[in-house]
Structure 1
Amino acid sequence: MKKGVILLVVLFIISVFGYSQNLENLDYVSPLHDGLIAIKKDTNWGFINKEGNMVINFRNDLVTTKSDDGEYPVFKNGRCLITKETNGILYFGYIDATGKTVIEPQFLNASNFINNEALALHVMKNEIGKNDVLAIKMVSYRYHEVIIDSNGEIKEYLTPKGFSIVLDKKYLKIPPKITSKRITDRMYAVVNESKKWSIVKIN
């Protein structure tokens, strides 16, 4: 019994001291957003809560957001942007406040949530034929600016026709920009084919 108690005390001391060491020599500490504070160490970011406890360990896939007081990852509506590289192309998704991936990285770009909605670039693949000589399917890709909910479900296509894109790291070195803008909860400004703005009302 005594050995068990001693072991628990030792483990507690190790965890406390090891834990506090992770919070030393930080390179950046953000303001509070959604009850969490982003902290940076070297090139990695993590999150602590209002009590200073680490809730999301340091990782290298968190997306930073520019603000008046700096550039750092943020939680909005319980979601934080992450990226994952596949075949040299970055895809965007989201984690929740525990660090669990709740929306798999699948979008070519995405925004932070506002009132449980976010803008994202959704990719669609179209089969356009088959090369009989090489015995391969010929495909093309288009992306659409869409509104997603906090589960990643598409609520609205803001650009139904979409935009052609080559899914190759040689041509897609940086994520395409999201051009649509949220104006109110039910209204968005969308760039049309004439490079002019259209107002889209959402039901």
Structure 2
Amino acid sequence: MKRSNFLILITVFFTTVLYSQSIDNVDFVSSMNDEMAAVKKGNQWGFINSEGNMAINFRDDLVVSKTADGSYPIFHNGRCLIAQKKDGINYYGYIDRTGKTVIEPQYLNATNFNDNVAIVLVLRRNELSKNIALNKAVVNYDYFEVAINLNGEVITYLTQEPVHITLSAEKLRKPPVIYSKVISNTLFAVMNAQKKWSVLKVE
């Protein structure tokens, strides 16, 4: 067999294997959002693209969001939420349309992107002192509500006062609530302790 014919056969074989994945017998198919539709098989989710090809294979770290036509993972602005469990606590990050992690799971909670911004809970570790006998730092933790861009860069802090938290799986069975909302990529609504809203403009 000629080398050129062999290379053509290998190319066809790998193209078939990699891109002609079966999408039969799935449990749920969402509507198209951001040129991607979520599909569920068992306890795992994946995504098909606008051509009906499997763009992201089934996996168990995609975060389900509530929508008008059901609950499923969703893409907005080319980003989809993922969650990774560390020491029993879920940390949230984002993947792109290829399934690549573009913002590492590091937030205590996070929203879907909207108008190229998202709101996340940024965890802060505070070293208070050192236990000389045990040679260990005495620490506590708190978090802020923060707006980030598509690269995970901080646009602005939406809360000025930190919220103290006990970082344990027992205390954090559910992620802390996010109270701020995205109005546009320069406008945010922030709720205060009296449950009143303020509008914050970011230049």
State the partner residue of 1:109: 109
State which drifts further: 185-194 or 4-13: 4-13
Q: Amino acid of the residue matched to residue 78 of structure 2?
A: G
| Structure 2 CA distance for aligned equivalents of residues 18 and 183 of structure 1 | 40
The 1:154–1:14 alpha-carbon spacing in structure 2 relative to 1, beyond 3 Å, is closer
What are the equivalent positions in structure 2 for 1:63-142 lying under 5 Å apart?
63-142=63-142
Provide the secondary structure at the position in 2 that maps to 1:176: coil
Distance in structure 1 (CA, Å) of the matches to 2:184 and 2:42? 38
Following the alignment from structure 2 to structure 1, what is the Cα–Cα distance between the partners of residues 154 and 18?
43
- Match runs of 1:1-203 below 5 Å: 1=1, 12=12, 16=16, 22-203=22-203
Q: State the Cα deviation string for residues 20-46 of structure 1 (Å, max 9, x = none).
A: 663110100011111111111111111
* C-alpha RMSD over aligned residues: 2.2
SS at match of 1:128: strand
- SS at 2:144's partner residue? strand
1:80-126 CA-to-partner distances (Å, cap 9, x unmatched) read 00010111100000000000000000000101111110000000111
Unaligned runs of 5+ in 2: none
Question: Which letter maps to 2:149?
Answer: D
TM-score (norm 2): 0.90
Distance in 2 (CA, whole Å) between partners of 1:102 and 1:19 is 23
Structure 1 spans left out of the alignment, 5+ residues: none
Describe the shift of the 1:121–1:65 C-alpha distance in structure 2 as closer, same or farther (beyond 3 A): same
Say which SS state the counterpart of residue 31 (structure 1) adopts.
coil
CA shift in 2, pair 1:188/1:18, >3 Å: closer
Equivalent-residue separation in structure 2 for 1:202 and 1:190 (angstroms): 13
- Could you say what secondary structure the match of 1:152 adopts? coil
Using a 3 Å threshold, how does the CA distance of structure 1 residues 17 and 188 change in structure 2: closer, same or farther? closer
Identity of aligned residues (%): 49
The more displaced of 114-123 and 18-27 is 18-27
How many angstroms apart in 2 are the aligned matches of 1:17 and 1:68? 35
Taking structure 1 as the reference length, the TM-score comes to: 0.90
11-20 vs 72-81, which deviates more? 11-20
In the comparison of the two structures, how many residue pairs are matched?
203
How far apart are the structure 2 equivalents of 1:184 and 1:21? Answer: 38
- State which drifts further: 177-186 or 31-40: 177-186
Structure 1 200/3 Cα, relative in aligned 2: closer, same or farther at 3 Å? closer
